[in-house]
Amino acid sequence: MNKDNLKDDKFIQVKNLKKYFKVGNNAILKAVDGVSFNIKRGETLGLVGESGCGKTTCGRTVLGLYGATEGEVLLEGTDIHKLKGKEKKEFTKHAQIIFQDPYASLNPRMTVGDIIAEGIDIHGLYTGQERTERIYNLLELVGLNKEHASRFPHEFSGGQRQRIGIARALAVEPKFIVCDEPISALDVSIQAQVVNLLIELQNKFGLTYLFIAHDLSMVKHISDRVGVMYLGTMVELAASGELYDNPLHPYTKALLSAIPVPDPDVENSRNRIMLEGEVPSPINPKPGCRFVARCKYAKPICSEQRPKFKEIEKEHFVACHLFNDK
Ligand code: SF4
C-alpha cells in the first residue's frame, strides 16, 4: 500500500474520550481524561508513554472493550459506543486486538487451530473443510505452518505465540487492529520479526493500526504518526519523523533523550534529560498540567489551568502553556 497519500483522515475519530474508574468511596481514577485524535485509513498511529499513563486503557476504550465515561469513538462516522446487538457483533469483525502477553492471551486448553478460529466460529464465517483451509492459510500468513494447528500454546515460543495471536486477530478480516504492546513481552531479537510481520500484513491488507508501546525506538520504526500520553492526557502528537526530530513538549523531550544511541561516542557525549520527581497519581488529579511536578519550565499558570491540545505546526499538536501564544 502506498502510504504517501493517506486519505480518509477521519477513518477513526476519537473525540474528548474519557475513561474513569471509581476506586473507593470518593476517589476517581482518571485513566483517560479527555483525549482526542484521528487515525487515517491504512496508517499506524503509535501511542507511547510510561506504564500507567493510560495508553492501554485508551486503546481498549477505542475498541469498545471498556465503555467510555464521556466522549466519542467514531469508526467511519459511527459511534462504536452506541452500537448494540447485531451491530455491535458486526463491529467486532472490523476491529480486533493483539494482546501484550502471548502467554496469557491464549487458552492453554484449546488447540492453536481452535484459538485462531474463535472469531470465525462466533461470526459463522466458515465451517468444515473451508474453516480448516482458512486456519491453514492464516498460519502460513504469519510464518507458521498447518501442522501447528493441532498443537497447544505451551508447545510454542513467545514469538510464535504472538504470531498465533496475530493470526487470530486476522481471521475475521478486520480493518482496524489495536496492537496493545505486542512486542513488550518478547526477546529483543524476536521483537523486530514481529514488527516486520505486522508491517507486511498491513501492506498486504491495508490494515489500520493503533500501536501501543513504551519502547520509543520500535514505535518510530512502525508508526506514521506518534501520540505521547502522560497521566491520562495526550501531550503531543505529530508525524513520526517530526516528533523524533523536533519534539516540543518537555515530557516528549525527556522520553526521547532516554533512548540509547547505538554509537558509543555519541551515547557518551549526549545530554540526557532526567525527569525529576515522582509520577503523580491519576486518582483525583489536581487541576492544571499533569506534568507540572516534574517540569523544569513550569510557571504559575501550569498549576492552575490545563493546557489546551493545540496544533502548533501543521499536524503537530502539543498541550503545553509554553506554546500558548503560538
Ligand atoms: Fe511544563 Fe507548564 Fe508545559 Fe506543563 S504546561 S509541560 S508544566 S511548561
Q: So where are the chain's domains? A: 7-323
How much distance in Å is there from the Cα of 278 to the middle of ligand 1? 16
Torsion angle of C-alpha atoms 232, 235, 238, 244, degrees rounded to 10: -110
Atom of ligand 1 nearest to the CA of 321: 5
Atom of ligand 1 nearest to the CA of 307: 5
Long-range contacts of residues 247-251, Cβ cutoff 8 Å, at least 24 apart: 248/312, 248/316, 248/318, 248/320, 248/322, 248/323, 249/291, 249/318, 249/319, 249/320, 250/291, 250/295, 250/296, 250/297, 250/320, 250/322, 251/275, 251/291, 251/294, 251/295
Q: Round to whole Å and give the CA distance between 172 and 208.
A: 15
User: Looking at domain 7-323, does it have CATH number 3.40.50.300?
Assistant: yes
Residue 211 has pLDDT above 70, yes or no: yes
Look at residue 266 in the predicted model and tell me its pLDDT.
65
Look at residue 310 in the predicted model and tell me its pLDDT.
95
Residue 6 has pLDDT above 60, yes or no: no
Q: How high is the mean pLDDT of the chain?
A: 91
Look at residue 102 in the predicted model and tell me its pLDDT.
75
- Ligand 1 site, residue 293, Cβ cutoff 6 A: no
How much distance in Å is there from the Cα of 302 to the middle of ligand 1? 6
Residue 2 has pLDDT above 70, yes or no: no
Q: Round to whole Å and give the CA distance between 19 and 61.
A: 7
Q: Round to whole Å and give the CA distance between 296 and 54.
A: 23
Q: Is 308 helix (H, G, I), strand (E, B) or coil?
A: coil
- Ligand 1 site, residue 320, Cβ cutoff 6 A: yes
Report yes or no on whether pTM surpasses 0.85: yes
Residue 270 has pLDDT above 70, yes or no: no
- Ligand 1 site, residue 307, Cβ cutoff 6 A: yes
319 bridge partner residues: 309
Mean pLDDT of 215-243: 93
Atom of ligand 1 nearest to the CA of 295: 1
Q: Round to whole Å and give the CA distance between 201 and 167.
A: 10
Atom of ligand 1 nearest to the CA of 299: 2
Segment 249-263, tens digit of pLDDT: 999 999 998 777 666
How much distance in Å is there from the Cα of 268 to the middle of ligand 1? 29
Q: Is 261 helix (H, G, I), strand (E, B) or coil?
A: coil
Look at residue 259 in the predicted model and tell me its pLDDT.
74
How much distance in Å is there from the Cα of 141 to the middle of ligand 1? 46
- Ligand 1 site, residue 228, Cβ cutoff 6 A: no
Look at residue 216 in the predicted model and tell me its pLDDT.
83
Look at residue 155 in the predicted model and tell me its pLDDT.
95
Residue 274 has pLDDT above 80, yes or no: no
Please give the distance of CA 322 from its chain centroid, rounded to a whole number: 27
- Ligand 1 site, residue 321, Cβ cutoff 6 A: yes
- Ligand 1 site, residue 291, Cβ cutoff 6 A: yes
Q: Round to whole Å and give the CA distance between 310 and 317.
A: 5
Residue 105 has pLDDT above 90, yes or no: no
